[in-house]
Structure 1
Amino acid sequence: MENLQGILGLVAITLGCAAFSFDRKSIRPGLVVKSLALQFVFALLLLKLPGSQHLFRLLNQGIAVLQDATRAGTSFIFGHLGGGAVPYDVVDEGAGVILAFQTLPLVIVISVLSGLLIYSGILPVILRLMSLLLEKTLRIGGAPGFAIVANAFLGMVEAPLLIRPYLARLSSSELFSVMVAGMATIAGSMMAIEAAVISDVVPDAVGHLFSASLITLPGVVYVSHLLMPNTGAITSREGTVDRGGSSVMDVVARSTQVGLQIFLNIIAMAIVVVALVYLVNAFLGLFPGFGGRPVTLERLLGYVLAPMTWLMGIPWRDALVTGELLGAKTVLTEFIAYVRLGELSPDTLGLRSRTIIAYALCGFANFISLGIMVTGLITMVPERRDEIIRFGFRSLIAGSLATFSAACVVGILL
């Protein structure tokens, strides 16, 4: 019965997306079927052949090198605030992580790296190869396809940065799919941290979170296609790309300036969104609490999302608890939700429920990340500001559904 729930969940997601599609007549059933099949292939390989995860761990080690390189720069400028040696005894390791000084500067480094890859001609070659593969199989352009795949390892701002010169060319549907990918997955930089906080309640947490982002990618393709089918030309390998500067130093200088602007805009938006969520919860706190706890936005969303967790294959007795975890993820970020999952007693949720919800939480679809992504994209392509804002909330919902689809597939196969 629990495996059947996952099948019902996939059917509900697919039919629901089709029902709310902007252009149902343009939906290509073949793309949806191929993407669903690819999702099951990924899940079978990653869940049944654990050795295959070694390749993806190697790829993520490359991201770790980028983080280390960024930390070398931030610690040189900011000292221990930027991740350098701490000159005092640390009581709480988590309290020492300063987002603005340690994590977000990676955006600047990625901006420069992508600029150099474009200038050297390496990135255009990769895009041409990816174009050939994706166009022949799913008829997805190489530029958006590359950004979608990159989201399995990078964040929702860093991945689009890799195709920054192509962003202005993307069709509306392709731009939407890139935004959905940003909401549906988490960055490789967060996987190790979040796996650590749930390692006591979810065995092999690192492997599951690696698998989650990869299984979600085909879900991104068919969910975004169902909601907004591409009716125009695809952005592929054709066309020339601005090299971004006249020399290596010119490219470094320009890319650093772009990355810095994105970095500052992200910080400002994060402050505003956190403050707004706090104000909403402060208002809800005026109402009488229930169950011994105050009314909050995440608790209300928990009740709404409880049936969705049942459709993933989670027993109904666990649905309310897992629904509240999804509510916390949507309002407060997936990291907070993973912390709360890690703090749960193993008796509160069964192993099956803990594993499935770990997949369902593995995405950036929350209000804070949405603000960061929208701000970052507007900075990269200001001429598409209206489109990006219009697609924002829709991409959060679509990204959540793509992540949920991965949880449904896992619920079927567990």
Structure 2
Amino acid sequence: MSLIMSLVGIVVLLAIGFLLSKHKKHINYRTVLVALLIQVLFGGFVLYVPIGQQILFAVSEGFVKLLGYSSEGINFLLGFWLTDASNVGFVFAFKALPVIIYLASLISVLYYLGVMKIIIRAIGGGLKFLLGTSETESLSAAANIFVGQTEAPLTVKPYIAKMTESELFAVMVGGLASVAGSVLAGYIGMGIPAPYLIAASFMSAPGGLLFAKLLIPETEKSVTFAKDGETDKDDAPANVLEAAARGASDGMFLVLNVGAMLLAFLSIIALINGILGWFGGLFNFNELSLTWLVSIPFRYLAFLIGVPWQDATIAGGMIGIKLITNEFVGYLELSKYVVQGEGGIFSAWQGIQPITGTILSFALCGFANLSSIAILIGGLGVMAPSRRADVARLGVYAVIGGCLSNLMSATIAGFYFSLGAGA
């Protein structure tokens, strides 16, 4: 049944994108279909083909090992606070989140050394060649695999002001369809399977372009072309040490931002649940909560993308909460169904079927939520003040595109799981 629903889900998601398209006559079906094909083939290779599975697990094991080196710094500063692992929130705040600082610093160094530029150029060039998208939007999509929605556009910063509406929208959707490589550390620290998170990050590049070009197709002629070596050199680090220090500083800001958002969102959700619980108690309906309310419409969507019906309400609640708040809150909910092994790494699912956990791991892996609109306006608005109004106008549409991209990756993952690719 899940296999059939996965196929239905793919068709439904494409149909939603088509129905919401602003310029249906201008849709480039080559771009849309090839982007979908890349998502399907890449997902099949790393989730179903044995050698692809081995490569994905090797990469994820290497990534987890890379994150493990952060324990030296964390234990030095905070080790005496981590003797009791029974308080999940406490350990998350003082063990999972600090890893982000380490990874942000490492990524900054790799950028300074030119390693990230080579990788992004290669992936961006491949997307441009295969999809027929412009170089600027392809580069930004590739960058979003590794960095966040405000950092990736820096790779094409000089061209944002001159971008067509479709190109600007593609940059926005790409940012919302993905997550920053540094925050993957936080999700892995919650026990979310690293292989799924890494696969979702790579699938977000073609997925974001797919729905960006489906929702707002290109109707103008692009006048942007990113040349090699054309970056903002005035703001570049002087050496490796400054790059590491700047990355650590950025990582600290990100950690504080994530921590503050979680504190605020979880507290507000608790307040709303308290009010709803009191109201529901008047009618002897103690299950009434915000999660239950958002699960009502989203459980049908969860079922459409392959989640078994018995888990659809749980899955729908997580998808809805993630859309209203952010992906960290969604993953915190999902982590309640994870059995963690040694070092807090994923071991098994509990309370939900494995296919549900797999689909949700992909579906939640993106910045597509309502609060991200403000981040986009702030980030892109600073890079190109003349486009601030355009970013604000396209914000909700970009969230829809990012959500559809995440759900498409999740549907494809569920399809291969149904074929026997499950962990």
TM-score class, shorter-chain normalisation, is 0.7 to 0.9
The alignment's C-alpha RMSD in Å is 4.2
Q: How many residues align?
A: 396
CA distance in structure 2 between the aligned counterparts of 1:31 and 1:91, rounded to whole angstroms? 52
Distance 1:98 1:19, change over 3 A: same
**Alignment of 1:391 onto 2:391:** no
DSSP-derived class of the 1:289 partner: helix
Contact between 1:152 and 1:185, CA under 8 Å: does it hold in 2? yes
CA distance in structure 1 between the aligned counterparts of 2:251 and 2:361, rounded to whole angstroms? 30
Per-residue deviation at 1:229? 0.7
Of 144, 164, 180 in structure 2, the residue corresponding to residue 151 of structure 1 is 144
CA distance in structure 2 between the aligned counterparts of 1:347 and 1:126, rounded to whole angstroms? 37
CA distance in structure 2 between the aligned counterparts of 1:117 and 1:412, rounded to whole angstroms? 37
**Alignment of 1:94 onto 2:75:** no
Residue 341 of structure 2 is matched in structure 1 by: none
Contact between 2:102 and 2:251, CA under 8 Å: does it hold in 1? no
DSSP-derived class of the 1:348 partner: coil
Of 162, 170, 175 in structure 2, the residue corresponding to residue 177 of structure 1 is 170
Per-residue deviation at 1:20? 1.2
DSSP-derived class of the 1:162 partner: helix
Of 130, 141, 148 in structure 1, the residue corresponding to residue 134 of structure 2 is 141
CA distance in structure 1 between the aligned counterparts of 2:171 and 2:209, rounded to whole angstroms? 9
Residue 366 of structure 1 is matched in structure 2 by: 369
**Superposition TM-score, scaled by structure 1 size:** 0.77
CA distance in structure 2 between the aligned counterparts of 1:69 and 1:177, rounded to whole angstroms? 36
**Alignment of 1:4 onto 2:4:** yes
Task: State the identity as a percent.
Answer: 26
Per-residue deviation at 1:19? 1.1
Of 353, 356, 359 in structure 1, the residue corresponding to residue 359 of structure 2 is 356
Residue 181 of structure 2 is matched in structure 1 by: 188
Contact between 1:378 and 1:385, CA under 8 Å: does it hold in 2? yes
Of 209, 234, 247 in structure 2, the residue corresponding to residue 245 of structure 1 is 234
Of 197, 204, 208 in structure 2, the residue corresponding to residue 220 of structure 1 is 208
Distance 1:211 1:66, change over 3 A: closer
Contact between 1:185 and 1:216, CA under 8 Å: does it hold in 2? yes
One-letter amino acid matched to 1:336? V
CA distance in structure 1 between the aligned counterparts of 2:409 and 2:71, rounded to whole angstroms? 33
CA distance in structure 2 between the aligned counterparts of 1:211 and 1:88, rounded to whole angstroms? 33
Single out whichever of 168-177 and 404-413 deviates more from structure 2: 168-177
1:329-359 C-alpha deviation (Å, 9 max, x unpaired): 2234323322322323856322222222222
Contact between 1:107 and 1:262, CA under 8 Å: does it hold in 2? yes
Per-residue deviation at 1:51? 4.0
Of 213, 217, 226 in structure 2, the residue corresponding to residue 229 of structure 1 is 217
Per-residue deviation at 1:114? 5.2
One-letter amino acid matched to 1:289? G
DSSP-derived class of the 1:84 partner: helix
CA distance in structure 2 between the aligned counterparts of 1:321 and 1:246, rounded to whole angstroms? 46
Structure 2 unmatched runs, 5+: 86-90, 339-348, 419-423
**Superposition TM-score, scaled by structure 2 size:** 0.75
Distance 1:362 1:300, change over 3 A: same
CA distance in structure 2 between the aligned counterparts of 1:333 and 1:394, rounded to whole angstroms? 17
Single out whichever of 157-166 and 263-272 deviates more from structure 2: 263-272
Contact between 2:173 and 2:399, CA under 8 Å: does it hold in 1? yes
Distance 1:360 1:248, change over 3 A: closer
Contact between 2:266 and 2:329, CA under 8 Å: does it hold in 1? no
1:40-59 C-alpha deviation (Å, 9 max, x unpaired): 11111011235436666787
Of 303, 307, 314 in structure 2, the residue corresponding to residue 310 of structure 1 is 303
Per-residue deviation at 1:393? 2.2
Distance 1:354 1:2, change over 3 A: same
Distance 1:273 1:141, change over 3 A: farther
**Alignment of 1:376 onto 2:379:** yes
CA distance in structure 2 between the aligned counterparts of 1:198 and 1:257, rounded to whole angstroms? 28
Of 334, 344, 358 in structure 2, the residue corresponding to residue 341 of structure 1 is 334
Distance 1:70 1:172, change over 3 A: farther
CA distance in structure 2 between the aligned counterparts of 1:349 and 1:247, rounded to whole angstroms? 47
1:91-111 C-alpha deviation (Å, 9 max, x unpaired): 352232596x87479778867
